[in-house]
């Protein structure tokens, strides 16, 4: 009986550990994918730069801001480019 209980507790502990460790990894990968999408959006804006006159350097901080905040982040990056 004690062996069954110890195996059940071990399985529960491993399940809990995997669950706790996988959550931050999901957030990390979501942040990476959003940053990549932000970089693609900034690249598309730069393709239209000859028409709009707005060129935004595709840097890691700018891509993170656009990826994390979405459209408001894009507006913030554009305003920083215009006023700084």
Q: Is the pLDDT of residue 71 over 80?
A: yes
Collapsed DSSP state (helix, strand, coil) of residue 56: coil
pLDDT-derived band at 76 (thresholds 50, 70, 90) equals: very high
Contact of 65 with 76, CB cutoff 8 Å: yes
Domain count, the chain: 1
pTM (2 d.p.)? 0.71
Q: Give the model's pLDDT for residue 28.
A: 85
Q: How far is CA 75 from the centre of its chain?
A: 18
- Calpha distance 66→40 (Å, rounded): 10
Q: What residues make up the domain containing 58?
A: 2-83
Phi, psi angle pair for 74, to nearest 5°:
-65, -45
Model confidence pLDDT, tens digit, residues 13-67: 888 888 877 778 788 889 899 999 999 999 999 999 999 888 999 998 999 999 8
């Amino acid at each position: 009986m004690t062996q069954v209980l110890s195996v059940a507790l071990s399985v529960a502990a491993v399940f809990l550990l995997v669950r706790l460790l996988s959550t931050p990894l999901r957030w990390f990968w979501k942040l990476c994918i959003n940053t990549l999408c932000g970089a693609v959006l900034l690249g598309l804006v730069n393709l239209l730069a000859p028409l709009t006159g707005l060129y935004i350097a595709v840097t890691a901080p700018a891509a993170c801001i656009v990826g994390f905040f979405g459209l408001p982040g894009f507006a913030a990056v554009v305003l920083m480019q215009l006023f700084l």
